[in-house]
Amino acid sequence: MLQKTIRNIAIIAHVDHGKTTLVDGMLKATDAFREGQQVQERVLDSNDQERERGITILSKNISIEYRGVKINVIDTPGHADFGGEVERVLKMADGALLLVDAAEGPMPQTRFVLRHAIAAHLQVMIVINKIDRDGANPENALNQSLDLMMDLGATDEQLEFAMEHVVYASAVNGYARLAPDDGNMDMYPLLDMIVDEMPAPDVDLDGPLAMQCVTIDHSDYVGRIGIGRIYSGTIHDGDDILVVKNDGSRTMARVKQLFTFDYLGRKECDHAEAGDIAAVVGIDRTDIGDVYTDPENPVELEPIEIDPPTLSIVFEASTSPLVGRDGDIVGGRQLKERLMQERENNVTMRIEELPDKTGVEVAGRGILHLSVLMEAMRREGFEFQVGRPRVLFKKEHGQVLEPVENAVVECNPEFSGKVIEVFGNAGGTMTNMETGTTQTHLEFSIPTRGIMGLKSRIMNVTHGDAVFYHTFAEYGPYAGEIGARQNGAMISMSTEKAVAYALGTLQDRGTLFIAPGDECYEGMLVGERSRPGDMTVNVARSKNLGNQRSSTADIAVQLTPPKVFSLEEALEYIMDDELVEVTPHFIRMRKRLLTEVERRKWAVQHGKVAKLNG
pLDDT at 38 over 70: no
Is 560 annotated to bind a ligand? Reply is no
pLDDT tens digits, 421-462 = 999 988 899 999 988 777 888 999 999 888 887 887 888 899
Say what the pLDDT of residue 35 is: 41
Task: Give the whole-angstrom CA distance, residue 414 versus residue 416.
Answer: 6
131 annotated as belonging to a binding site for a ligand: yes
pLDDT tens per residue, range 394-417: 888 889 999 998 888 888 899 999
Categorize the per-residue pLDDT at 108 as very low, low, confident or very high, splitting at 50, 70 and 90. low
55 annotated to bind ligand: no
By mean pLDDT, which of 64-73, 105-114, 506-515, 603-612 is the weakest? 603-612
For residue 218, name the pLDDT band (cuts at 50, 70, 90): confident
Percent of the chain with pLDDT strictly greater than 90: 53
11 band by pLDDT with thresholds 50, 70 and 90 = confident
Q: Is 441 annotated as a binding residue?
A: no
Q: Quick one: pLDDT at residue 314?
A: 96
Among 64, 60, 13, smallest CA distance to 194 is for: 64
Average the pLDDT over 115-141 and give the result: 92
Q: What is the pLDDT of residues 521-570, one digit of tens each?
A: 999 999 999 999 999 999 998 876 665 555 454 446 788 899 999 898 89
- E strands within 304-381? 311-317, 350-353, 360-364
Question: In terms of Cα–Cα distance, which of 11, 175, 20, 155 is closest to 86?
Answer: 11
pLDDT of residue 385: 96
At residue 40's C-alpha, the angle toward residues 36 and 45, to 5°, is 145
Nearest CA-CA partner of 406 in 460, 361, 442: 442
Contact 579, 566 (CB under 8 A): no
pLDDT digits (tens, 9 = 90+) for 43-100: 444 445 444 444 443 446 888 999 999 999 987 765 544 555 666 788 889 999 999 9
Return the percentage of the chain with pLDDT > 70, whole number.
Answer: 88
| The pLDDT of residue 270 | 93
Alpha-carbon Rg for the chain in angstroms: 27
Taken in order of first residue, the domains within the chain and their CATH numbers are 6-197 (3.40.50.300), 210-293 (2.40.30.10), 311-391 (3.30.70.870), 394-477 (3.30.70.240), 489-605 (2.40.50.250)
What is the C-alpha to C-alpha distance for residues 289 and 74, in angstroms, rounded to an integer?
18
- For the cut 50, the answer to whether the pLDDT of residue 125 exceeds it is yes
What pLDDT does 202 receive? 92
Look over the chain and give the mean of its residue pLDDT values, rounded to a whole number: 85
Long-range contacts: 158-162, Cβ < 8 Å, 24+? 158/118, 158/121, 158/122, 158/123, 158/124, 161/123, 161/124, 161/125, 162/98, 162/124, 162/125, 162/126
- pLDDT higher than 80, residue 605: yes
> What average pLDDT does this structure show over 286-291?
86
Q: Is the pLDDT of residue 248 over 60?
A: yes
CB 63 within 8 A of CB 261: yes
- Find the mean pLDDT for residues 209-234: 87
The conformation of residue 274, written as its DSSP 8-state character, comes to: T
Position 303 pLDDT exceeds 80: yes
Residue 85 pLDDT: 64
129 is annotated as contributing to ligand binding: yes
The candidate with the shortest Cα–Cα distance to 288, out of 257, 243, 326, 321, is: 243
Mean pLDDT of 302-309: 76
C-alpha torsion 446→449→450→455, nearest 10: 110
Mean pLDDT of all residues in 340-356:
85
Identify the helix (H) or strand (E) that includes residue 52: helix 48-53
pTM here? 0.73
Strand partners, 314: 361
* C-alpha pair distances (Å), 110 with each of 146, 274, 419: 12, 30, 23
CA distance 534 to 19: 47
Q: Which of 152, 150, 175 is nearest to 160 (CA)?
A: 150
Q: What pLDDT does residue 522 have?
A: 95
Please check if 18 is assigned to a binding site. Answer: yes
What is the distance of C-alpha 612 from the center of its chain?
Answer: 37
| pLDDT tens by residue, 458-514 | 888 998 888 787 777 888 998 887 766 788 999 999 999 999 999 998 998 999 999
- Report the pLDDT value the prediction gives residue 483, as an integer from 0 to 100: 66
Structure confidence at residue 57 (pLDDT):
38
What confidence score (pLDDT) does residue 284 get?
83
